[in-house]
Amino acid sequence: MEKTLMKGNEAIAEAAVRAGCRYFFGYPITPQNALPEYMSHRLPEVGGVFLQAESEVAAINMVYGAAGAGARVLTSSSSPGISLKMEGISYIAGAELPCVIVNIMRAGPGLGGIQPSQSDYFQATKGGGHGDYHMTVLAPSSVQEAVDLTMEAFEIADYYRNPVMILGDGIIGQMMEPVVFDKKINPDRLKKKEWATDGAKNRKPNIINSLLLDTEKLEEHNLKLKAKYDEMKERDVRVELYKMEDAEFAIVAYGSTARISTNAVDMAREKGIKVGLIRPITLFPFPEKVIQSTLVNIKAYLTVEMSLGQMIEDVKLSVGGKRPVHFYGRTGGMIPTAEAILEKIEKITENDHLERGEK
């Protein structure tokens, strides 16, 4: 397979095209502009449509329209823009429409900055918009993984009739790495969406809607959505374990931070510290059971994030108070170094030994 050197943002765009996505609606925002720019020349080549909307709000509603009309459709943005899309994402989840949303996170709150961050974890995994809903959240930690997850995202979205978010950060979006595109999906051969609004010829009208004024019916609808989220928790949890076989301590980190944490693990191992890495690939559904299964051997956990501590809440829920869960994070666009993570691990292991009177 031929390897191509590509920026994360462009690789995600190409992966979407190869997944059969033919429609993109978006609005410029740093640090994800290379993605829509790529789509603006790539989609017309394959008979698709790239449209620069007047706002993020308009873009996500164009996604709603196209998805409701049966199309494979993508939008991308970065943190402040994703906040604007949240209303639309709630409608998309409510109306059960499949689509893929890319968030190349930058630091907040407010206008914040344009450097990488992971401070939209809560927004992405806990709903974000109004109402009881979730979407699958995929967190790539390399450009190749961003490609693979983007292609899969469209399948997951179609399967569940639910939005899927690719949650990257400025590092994933802007770094260049060699990638292989080994899959291609022909959009003409996708399963026909019988529920889509593409003209009521020889059938009853199809309606795309999230309004249910009857309280019993709305509760029923919400329970139906919950059943989807439960199914995701059963079937779709994805996690990578690194040097966890004999580990006594575990770092939990995702995305770029997991890449850096891998180095910290290797450095700690050279010093004889038995530490491993748990890397959630799906942030929703969260790998709760996998973390629980490590409780037997792990004495303490360290969550590393480019935030002031968001995923740590899910780690703590998984650990259930049975082990200490420590935190190391940088924010505002600052990136944690492997050395700083190592220092934190050393402190945690020393304290642990002291407490146990082992040293």
Partner 1 sequence: MELVAGYPESLTEKEFHYCSGCTHGLIHRLVAEVMDELEIREKTIGVAPVGCSVLAYEYFNCDMQEAAHGSAPAVATGIKRAHPDKVVFTYQGDGDLASIGTAEIVHAANRGELITTIFVNNAIYGMTGGQMAPTTLLEQKTTTSPEGRSNILSGYPIKMSEMLSVLDGAVYIARVSVHNPANIRKAKNTIKKAFEYQLAGKGFTMVEVLSTCPINWGMTAVDALKWVGEEMTSIYPLGIFKEVE
Stretch that binds partner 1, among 136-144, 164-172, 191-199, 278-286 (CB under 8 A): 191-199
Distance separating the N- and C-terminal Cα atoms of the chain: 52
Answer for which of 9, 32, 61, 117 binds partner 1 (CB under 8 A) is 61
Short-list 153, 173, 155, CA closest to 165: 153
State which residue, 187 or 332, has the beta carbon closest to partner 1. Answer: 187
Taking CB under 8 A as the rule, does residue 13 contact partner 1?
Answer: no
**Structural tokens at position 261:** 């944490």
Taking CB under 8 A as the rule, does residue 27 contact partner 1?
Answer: no
**Structural tokens at position 331:** 């924010």
d(CA 247, CA 261): 14
Fill in the amino acid letter for 259.
R
Taking CB under 8 A as the rule, does residue 163 contact partner 1?
Answer: no
Give the β-pairing of 163-169 and 300-305: unpaired
d(CA 290, CA 270): 26
d(CA 260, CA 169): 13
Taking CB under 8 A as the rule, does residue 55 contact partner 1?
Answer: yes
State which residue, 70 or 170, has the beta carbon closest to partner 1. Answer: 70
Whether the bond between 98 and the residue before it is cis, its omega within 30 degrees of 0, is no
- Scored b (16 or more CB within 10 A) or e, 312-334 reads bbbbbebbeeebebbbbbbbebe
Taking CB under 8 A as the rule, does residue 155 contact partner 1?
Answer: no
Answer for which of 11, 15, 35, 91 binds partner 1 (CB under 8 A) is 91
The size of the chain, in residues, is 359
State which residue, 115 or 206, has the beta carbon closest to partner 1. Answer: 206
- To the nearest whole angstrom, how small is the minimum distance from the Cβ of residue 126 to partner 1? 21
Stretch that binds partner 1, among 61-69, 108-116, 316-324, 345-353 (CB under 8 A): 61-69
Q: With CB under 8 A, what is the number of residues at the site for partner 1?
A: 39
Taking CB under 8 A as the rule, does residue 296 contact partner 1?
Answer: no
Based on its alpha-carbon atoms, the radius of gyration of the chain, rounded to whole angstroms, reads 21
Binding mask 256-295 for partner 1 (x = CB under 8 A): ----------------------------------------
Taking CB under 8 A as the rule, does residue 241 contact partner 1?
Answer: no
State which residue, 51 or 340, has the beta carbon closest to partner 1. Answer: 51
Answer for which of 28, 30, 40, 51 binds partner 1 (CB under 8 A) is 51
Short-list 290, 283, 270, CA closest to 346: 270
- Using CB under 8 A, list all residues that contact partner 1: 23, 25, 49, 51, 53-55, 57-59, 61-71, 73, 87-88, 91, 95, 197-202, 205-211
